[in-house]
Amino acid sequence: MKLLKINRRLFVKSATAGASLAALPGILKAQQAPSQNVAGANSRINVACVGFSDRFKDALLPSFIKSKDALNFEMVALADLWSQRRTEGKARIEEKIGHGIDLYKSDEDLYEKAKNVDAVIISTADFQHARHTVHAVTAGKDSYTEKPMAEDMDAANAVLDAVNAARKAGNRGGAVVQIGSQRRSGNAYHIANDYIRSGKFGDITYVDLCWNVNQPRRWRRPEALVASLKEADTDWKRWLLDRPMVAFDPRKYLEFRLFWPYSSGIPGQWMCHQIDTVSWFTGFDFPRSAMAAGGIYAWKDGRQSCDTFTTILEYGPDNDPSKGFQAVFSSRQTNSARGNVEKYHSAIGTID
């Protein structure tokens, strides 16, 4: 299966660029799940964690543990730039899986030295996902990468190029990449997709998407944790990757979702899940027009990403402007009224 090479001309450049990459999970999918190739203990898939975050600790690791025995997977290593995370991660993982794991100071250190790793779970900062996925694919490791896969088009295409190269070369490892978009595993969403694509729902005319919370400290970290991070205990230059060199800032390191250019904030964290269903259900990989606005209206704590964000996307065939529909996404972190909303409208009815 050849992966789609994304062309900038296919894409509306806007503030929603990071979130629009959510269309990629439907493009970048495995031809065959690793577990289908596992025959026994000799074929066990050894997995390493790249980036021991709260997300890995509280969500990814528990999910991995629930299914690892049935799928013949095992956790064998951890790579993290921060020495404190390596220590904490080793203790937590070993407590949960009942045996020791190896530690590495970076993903590149892992790929250079580890001889027993087949695949990785990448749960680093948003802007690092694409680069770390390319590292994994190039090293011949399959990967599960947290969303968003990329924050810009160049980074997204770098991942696609790496996977295409691995598949063209017939590499056994590195050709399988899965992106952590939440809706893709939900049975209700598969039912909705089948129903919409059957034609019984009629033409979609409007999609209403909303993700509202009232969380003043959303994506903030405990002050004691921020204070505990010292530049000498990590690798700030390696953490920045291709971002401009700036003075060490523990808030940017730990609260990256609040700061440009390390995260798009609301679009890359929440919109990506919901807008992904639009591309999935309709077959339109990209909107044909877009507009967006956002601001920091309540939580003035030094953050740079919006606490309130709205975007209007128009989808439809490029050769027929009379056909199409609007998808409107709105989100605020200042008031939870309406909560999470996902409604698809047609002249026949509504799916929610």
Which of 123, 90, 124 shows the shortest CA–CA distance to 104? 90
Q: Is the peptide bond before 148 cis (omega within 30 degrees of 0)?
A: yes
pLDDT tens by residue, 328-338: 999 999 999 99
Domains and CATH numbers, the chain: 8-14+24-181 (3.40.50.720), 223-254 (no CATH)
Comparing CA positions, the residue from 109, 102, 85 lying closest to residue 234 is: 85
> What local confidence, expressed as pLDDT, does residue 41 receive?
58
Q: How far apart are CA 15 and CA 293, in angstroms?
A: 8
Residue 6: the pLDDT is 39
**Which residues of the chain carry a pLDDT beneath 50?**
1-39
Residues 6+ apart with CB under 8 A from 53: 85, 123, 124
Torsion, Cα 215 255 22 151, to 10 degrees, reads: 140
**Exposure string (b/e) for 81-99, b if CB count within 10 Å is 16 or more?**
bbeebbeebbeebeeebee
Query: What is the rounded distance in angstroms from the CA atom of residue 237 to the CA atom of residue 243?
Result: 9
pLDDT tens readout for residues 30-45: 333 444 444 455 689 9
The continuous run of DSSP H or E covering 342 comes out as: strand 340-346
C-beta of residue 178 within 8 angstroms of C-beta of residue 36: no
Entry pTM: 0.87
Per-residue pLDDT, 306: 97
Sorted by sequence, the CB contacts under 8 Å of residue 99 that are 6+ apart come out as none
